């Protein structure tokens, strides 16, 4: 890592890690509920963010309305996503069946996903509390805990060798602190343990800058390699480099 490249990445992170980043990004749903203003609870924030992360792939113009549809449905019903899930209202108020809801995920897939979310919320009160207790009980990486906690849900990425981009993006949102974008709700987890979410833009720019091999695939190994490189620039907070690379790629 040259001083020039490190300085460039720091400059890019400063440029792109701003509140306006959320305007067209799925991170806009992080603040759908605002507990400080009396609208929703932390449980709502965590669950809404998780649903947003799990559906955040493909074309933004297609998946952002789908995420909004789910949150608006729950709000019209009970004014709260977590209450809607815990009460099982999704079973009647959200369609079921084999018809596709988004891309290759059907309405039945969504019902299974909502069911596992509801089970966690009913037993633990919030996703954060559930994952915190799991982390205390065992010592796998946090992203493995998240993936393994939804064994029936096809929507939640799994696989120890895969990039699991959407899970890592969710964890970035929940764990990174002092950010105008990420929430930093989980003070019990450390930003230094996060892995970069391997978006296409991130991989392309990382390869151009020599941070990963040109023919690198979207795998956990690549995520670890890139995270290690960015930790040299952003010690203890390597995922800040996600803004630099993603922002650069989108602008181009």
- pLDDT tens track for 139-197: 789 999 999 999 999 999 998 888 999 999 999 999 999 999 999 999 999 999 999 99
Distance CA 24, CA 53 (A): 14
Cα–Cα separations (whole angstroms), residue 93 to 45, 89, 96: 21, 6, 9
Q: Which pLDDT does position 166 carry in this prediction?
A: 97
Structure-derived torsion over alpha carbons of residues 45, 70, 117, 105, reported in degrees to the nearest 10: -130
| DSSP structural state of residue 99 | S
How many angstroms separate the first and last alpha carbons of the chain?
Answer: 23
Reference 67, options 53, 87, 79; nearest CA is 53
Distance CA 24, CA 122 (A): 32
Tell me the whole-structure pTM to 2 decimals: 0.96
Mean pLDDT of the chain: 96
Distance of CA 156 to the CA centre of its chain: 11
């Amino acid at each position: 890592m040259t001083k020039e490249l490190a300085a460039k990445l720091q400059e890019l992170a400063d440029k792109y890690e701003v509140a306006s980043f959320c305007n067209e990004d799925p991170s806009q749903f992080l603040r759908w509920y605002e507990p400080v203003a009396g609208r929703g609870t932390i449980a709502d924030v965590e669950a809404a963010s998780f649903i947003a992360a799990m559906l955040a792939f493909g074309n933004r113009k297609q998946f952002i309305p789908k995420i909004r549809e789910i949150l608006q449905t729950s709000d019209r019903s009970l004014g709260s996503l977590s209450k809607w899930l815990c009460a099982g209202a999704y079973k009647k108020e959200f369609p079921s069946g084999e018809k596709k809801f988004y891309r290759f995920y059907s309405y039945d897939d969504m019902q299974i996903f909502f069911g596992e979310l509801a089970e966690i919320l009913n037993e633990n009160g919030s996703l954060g509390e559930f994952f915190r207790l799991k982390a205390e009980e065992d010592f796998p990486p946090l992203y493995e805990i998240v993936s393994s906690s939804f064994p029936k849900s096809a929507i939640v990425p799994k696989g120890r060798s895969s990039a699991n981009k959407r899970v890592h993006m969710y964890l970035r949102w929940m764990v990174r602190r002092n950010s105008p974008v990420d929430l930093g709700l989980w003070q019990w987890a450390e930003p230094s343990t996060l892995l970069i979410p391997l978006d296409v833009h991130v991989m392309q720019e990382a390869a151009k800058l020599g941070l990963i091999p040109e023919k690198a695939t979207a795998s956990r190994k690549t995520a670890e390699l890139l995270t290690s490189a960015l930790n040299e620039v952003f010690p203890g907070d390597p995922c800040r480099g996600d803004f630099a690379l993603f922002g650069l790629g989108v602008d181009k």
